[in-house]
Structure formats: structure tokens, C-alpha cells
């Protein structure tokens, strides 16, 4: 018949499919083949046993600061400070020679006692607080020719070192201008302490400062008593001269109560003594009866050398060093120094 027979013919088995590799796989395989295999890691060598070595001393580490040590102390913490011990400074012994009566040898005593102190090795400064300038003249200095004087110190606050001149002793000179100092200082605050403040500049340079005062109890004398620690009162051995002691004591009491509680009378010095007269002997007895131990044992007797020495511009100790007049003040210096050491 012309159309196909429906008889099943025997079919041959299909050939297995061959899986083709991707080109990139071949490239990877070629790259792996080109890279050499890593060598095997060697086995670790056994660690050597530790050798015992003597430990060397190590320097101590500095102490570490704690944070609180680096902070400033608070106001509630007291900062302990080491006390500073200052060496004591020796100040001069200031002695005022005062008596409102004139002509009792205040200037003579101030100068010659100061020179007697200097003979024993002490450093001495004299202050001429009398406008008459007798102490200045007694050292050969003309008070009318000095350019600067205590007036400038007290009124204009000039340093006292600028007016000190060097003679037998150092002397802060006076001039007639000092007569107007009390009026010029009348409106100055603390005018009673002007001399005291001025002396602070040189107090450590001297052992003694001797102040000659005017024959009055005015502002200049008050300045001297305020600056002084001791007062020596020269008293002429006459009745009228001794009457001024009561007024001086009253003034000194006022100074002690208001300005200088430490000032005191060092002693009363009988001067211009004429032992040939009964009146002089009675005056000494009256002094000793009323003031007892306050009266110096030393006596300053009359001597012409006291009048001659200032003409030569020197103290009696330099003018006539071996005379009796010089001996009187050497005895007085010995007595005053004995009081100092007592």
C-alpha cells in the first residue's frame, strides 16, 4: 500500500551528550598549573630554656604626681609655708638732751658725750635741732652757709642722709631756717613724728643718735622726745634752773600717753657746777632728795675749756684731751654705757 505502515520499527539508542567546558575554566586550570605549589612550612624549632640572669638594680622611678597634686590649692586648703626667719636689725639708741631753760650746757653735753661714745668705738650721729645752730658751729660748720639742713628734712621730707656732714662725729646740720619749721609744719599731718620717720633711714647705721634741742617745749622738742627712747636733762646747779624740771616732766608724761610710751628720763645731769659756792652744794642736795637715783653720779664742773673748744670748731675731748673737762664727759659716757649694759 502506498501509505506508511504503522508498524513500529526498532529505534537505535541515542548517543550520550558531551558536556563542553566553559573557556574560562580552561584558563583557570592553566593558571593553577603555572603557579608552583607553596613549599611546606618547616616545623618550629624547640624554644631554648630560659637562662637565669642576676637582676641588675634598676633606678627608682620618680614618684608620679597624682592629678590632685597638679591642681592649685583651693581656698579651703591651707598652704603650709616655711617660716622665714629674719636676722634682727639693731637700731640706734636715740638720746634727747632737753631742758626748756637755756644756758644749761645742752649743746656742750650733746657734743662731748657723743665724742666720748665715739672714742669707745661706737658709731654716733648728732642732730642739731636748735635753730641757733650752736652744735653745728661747734664742729666748724657755718649754719648760715649750709645749703640743706634739718628744715628740709622736717618740712620737705628730704632724706636725712643728704644733710649729714662728717666731722669728729656725723652731724645733721641746722640753719636759721629751722626757726620757721614749727609754723611750716603746723598743717602737716603727723608733724610730731617727722623726725622719728626721718631717722628710720639711718637708724641701722649708728649705735647712738644724740639730739640737741632748743630751749623750749615747742614742736621741735616734741619731735625729739617722740623720736627718742631716753632723755638726759642737763641742769645748771641753780635754783631757777631746777624749776624747769617740773614742766619737762609734765611734757614728757604727755608724750608718753599720746606719742611715745617707751621714752623715759635716763638721768639728770648737774652741769656748770662750782663747788666753791654753798648755793651749788644745796642745789645738788635738792636734786638728790627729789630725784634720787635719777641724778647722775658724774658732775660737769665749770671749766674755761668748754668755752674755748667751740672757737676751734672741736669738742673739748679733741681740744684738750688730757684736761679735766674732757675727763668729766668720759666719766659720764662710762656711766651711761653701764646703764645700757645693766
Q: What is the pLDDT of residue 258?
A: 93
**The C-alpha cell of 7 is what?**
508498524
**Mean pLDDT, 10 residues at a time, the chain of 342 residues:** 47 53 64 60 59 54 55 51 57 93 93 97 97 95 94 96 96 94 92 96 96 93 96 88 81 93 94 89 89 93 95 95 96 93 72
Amino acid 9: pLDDT: 47
Q: How many domains does the chain have?
A: 1
Q: What are the residues whose beta carbons fall under 8 Å from the beta carbon of 182, sequence distance 6 or more?
A: 218, 219, 220
At 266, which CATH number? 3.40.50.300
Residue at 264 is within a domain? yes
Q: How much is the pLDDT for 3?
A: 43
Hey, how many other C-beta atoms are within 10 angstroms of the C-beta on 139? Answer: 22
C-alpha–C-alpha distance, residues 141 and 135, integer Å = 9
Rg (CA), the chain: 53
- pLDDT at res. 81: 57
User: What pLDDT score does 110 carry?
Assistant: 97
Q: 190 lies in a domain?
A: yes
Backbone angles phi and psi of 233, in degrees to 5? -110, 100
- Please state, in angstroms and as integers, the Cα–Cα distance from residue 133 to each residue in 22, 144, 153, following that order: 137, 9, 15
Quick one: pLDDT at residue 22?
59
As a three-state string, the secondary structure of 87-155 is: CCCCCCEEEEECCCCCCCCHHHHHHHHHHHHHHCCCCEEEEECCCCCHHHHCCCCCCCCCCCCHHHHHH
- The values of phi and psi at residue 102, to 5°, are -85, 165
135 within domain boundaries? yes
pTM of structure = 0.73
User: How much is the pLDDT for 4?
Assistant: 45
Identify the H or E element spanning 232. strand 230-236
For residue 77, being part of any structural domain is answered with no
Cβ proximity of 143 and 131 under 8 Å: no
The answer to whether residue 300 is domain-embedded is yes
C-alpha grid cell for residue 76? 579651703
According to DSSP, residue 206 is labeled -
Per-state percent for the chain, helix, strand, coil, to nearest 5: 40, 10, 45
Asked if 270 contacts 243 with a C-beta cutoff of 8 angstroms, the reply is: no
Residue 75 in any domain: the answer is no
Cα–Cα distance measured from residue 311 to residue 74, given in angstroms and rounded to the nearest whole number: 73
List the domain range (segments joined by +) for residue 104. Answer: 93-341
151 located within any domain? yes
Amino acid at each position: 500500500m502506498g501509505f506508511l505502515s504503522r508498524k513500529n520499527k526498532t529505534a537505535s539508542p541515542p548517543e550520550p551528550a558531551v558536556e563542553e567546558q566553559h573557556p574560562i575554566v580552561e584558563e583557570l586550570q592553566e593558571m593553577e598549573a603555572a603557579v608552583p605549589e607553596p613549599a611546606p612550612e618547616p616545623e618550629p624549632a624547640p624554644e631554648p630554656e630560659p637562662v637565669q640572669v642576676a637582676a641588675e638594680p634598676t633606678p627608682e622611678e620618680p614618684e608620679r604626681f597624682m592629678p590632685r597634686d597638679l591642681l592649685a590649692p583651693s581656698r579651703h586648703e591651707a598652704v603650709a609655708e616655711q617660716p622665714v626667719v629674719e636676722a634682727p636689725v639693731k637700731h640706734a639708741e636715740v638720746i634727747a638732751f632737753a631742758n626748756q631753760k637755756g644756758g644749761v650746757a645742752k649743746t656742750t653735753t650733746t657734743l662731748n658725750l657723743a665724742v666720748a661714745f665715739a672714742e669707745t668705738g661706737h658709731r654716733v650721729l648728732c642732730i642739731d635741732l636748735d635753730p641757733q645752730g650752736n652744735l653745728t658751729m661747734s664742729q666748724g660748720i657755718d649754719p648760715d652757709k649750709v645749703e640743706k639742713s634739718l628744715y628740709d628734712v622736717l618740712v620737705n621730707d628730704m632724706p636725712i642722709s643728704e644733710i649729714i656732714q662728717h666731722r669728729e662725729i656725723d652731724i645733721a646740720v641746722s640753719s636759721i631756717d629751722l626757726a620757721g619749721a614749727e609754723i611750716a609744719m603746723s598743717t602737716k599731718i603727723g608733724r610730731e613724728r617727722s623726725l622719728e620717720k626721718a631717722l628710720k633711714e639711718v637708724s641701722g647705721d649708728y649705735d647712738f643718735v644724740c639730739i640737741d634741742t632748743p630751749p623750749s617745749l615747742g614742736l621741735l622738742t616734741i619731735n625729739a622726745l617722740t623720736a627718742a627712747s631716753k632723755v638726759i636733762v642737763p641742769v645748771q646747779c641753780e635754783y631757777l634752773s631746777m624749776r624747769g624740771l617740773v614742766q619737762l616732766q609734765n611734757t614728757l608724761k604727755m608724750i608718753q600717753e599720746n606719742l611715745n610710751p617707751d621714752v623715759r628720763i635716763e638721768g639728770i645731769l648737774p652741769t656748770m657746777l662750782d663747788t666753791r659756792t654753798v648755793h651749788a652744794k644745796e642745789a645738788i642736795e635738792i636734786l638728790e632728795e627729789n630725784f634720787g637715783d635719777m641724778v647722775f653720779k658724774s658732775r660737769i664742773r665749770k671749766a674755761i675749756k668748754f668755752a674755748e673748744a667751740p672757737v676751734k670748731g672741736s669738742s673739748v675731748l679733741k681740744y684738750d684731751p688730757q684736761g679735766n673737762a674732757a675727763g668729766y664727759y668720759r666719766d659720764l659716757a662710762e656711766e651711761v654705757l653701764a646703764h645700757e649694759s645693766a
